[in-house]
Chain A
Amino acid sequence: MRLDRQRLLRISALMTLLALTLMAWSVLVPRPIPLVLFMTLGQVVGTASFIVFILAILIDLRRAKVLARRDAP
């Protein structure tokens, strides 16, 4: 599957929203289940969304020829 910047950014945005929702739930309802979900699943999803965002930036930089391919002349 071709990595498309826009698609990656949309995926990253959705994952970030999910992580933020878990965080907000744990703040509004400070009980064990919301807190543990935020501190485990929320952290994983949030970190993954940021990695996807970085990937989109790298693709964008390569596209703008700021980052050259290794095999480029």
Chain B
Amino acid sequence: MVSPVPLKRRLGIIDLGSNSARLIIVRYTPGVAFKVTDELSRRVRLGEGMVADNRLRPAAMERAIDAVNMFRAFCQANAVAHLIPVATAAVRDAVNRAEFLARLHKSTGLKFRVLTGEEEAYFGVLGVINSMGLRAGLVMDVGGGSTEVSEVRKGRFRRGVTSPLGAVRLTELYLDGDPVRASEAARLADHVFSTFKMLDWMKVEDGEKLVGLGGTLRALARIDREMRDYPLGLTHGYELELDRLDELIERVRKLPLRERLRKVPGLQPDRADIILAGAMVVAEALRRAGADRMTVCGQGLREGLFYREFLKPADPPVVHNLREFSVLNLGRLYGFDKAHVDHVARLALSLFDQLSKQHGYGEPEREYLWAASQLHDIGTIVDYYDHHKHSAYIVVSTGLPGYSHRETVLIALLGL
């Protein structure tokens, strides 16, 4: 056990969307190790009431400015000097965006960069590639005001488009009844499906993945996890099946708004009204793409912006070997003794190789063994006694981006 890698820099990333304003704080040493240390989120509903005339409402602007001011104070208190503030759909589409940006700047001192739809898609995909190791497939980000769909080929962003299929927006447009009427839901589904239909490349082939990110997906994963008593607390890498999603949609549709929270465990109050529209966008995307499940990504736009800083000057900013990096990052954060764990790994792998006839395992198992060797001591940070148990707890709590949940658990168990 040596000292953890000191994380020298602190970066705050603010993302002002149609439903919520979010801040993440990341500490990092460029190219070596990083840790997200805080995430703040405020529901500001900046896109509220915009459907009619594409104007940001005064009250909504006020809420957004308050939230940004609060984030700034938080950053100050936590010695975060460097901030990247970006705005997405609501601001992008607003006819009064110049006015809003000026007020925002005057009140908070921050100059927001308004991302184009393609940029938004691009940075979201960067977050996905660097946290899931996605080589080929589709990525979708369901927001409050818009939904971005992107195509990834050979581990690179190929293209991305944005459509006005955000959860807040669709709720306002289609879902009037309480409970929502079947006909309303059907019209919404139609609208979403036909919008996706226009993207002729929106298909996943065998072995490809459809990855979903954003608040809606995280919320759906949380609900689904509760319903099936999923044993892990991880959202990132969670697989949401279309069959289960369809059942959930039908159930939520029939519930009046005030009963949703009580009857849908895992649903959070600030999403109760828009969750149905969000779930339907996801379901129609799966149908359109011909996929039976969506892999949920816990990272996205904000992390994508972070990776660009973290990996500078690499272009594209993509972690070279994600699975290896995830393991090393965790080890570095917890101060593993590199010489020691490498020695342990060498011995373990040598045994593995010499016994290969006896056990018959292959390359994946060999990799798990390597990962477990690297991480077997990190639990010492909790307490020396039972540190193997603590190592497993840390691995399962933080997750290992690039590994599936099952693989993560296997690696944790190997160390026990």
**A and B pair up:** no
Residues of B whose CB lies within 8 Å of any CB of A are none
Residues of A whose CB lies within 8 Å of any CB of B are none
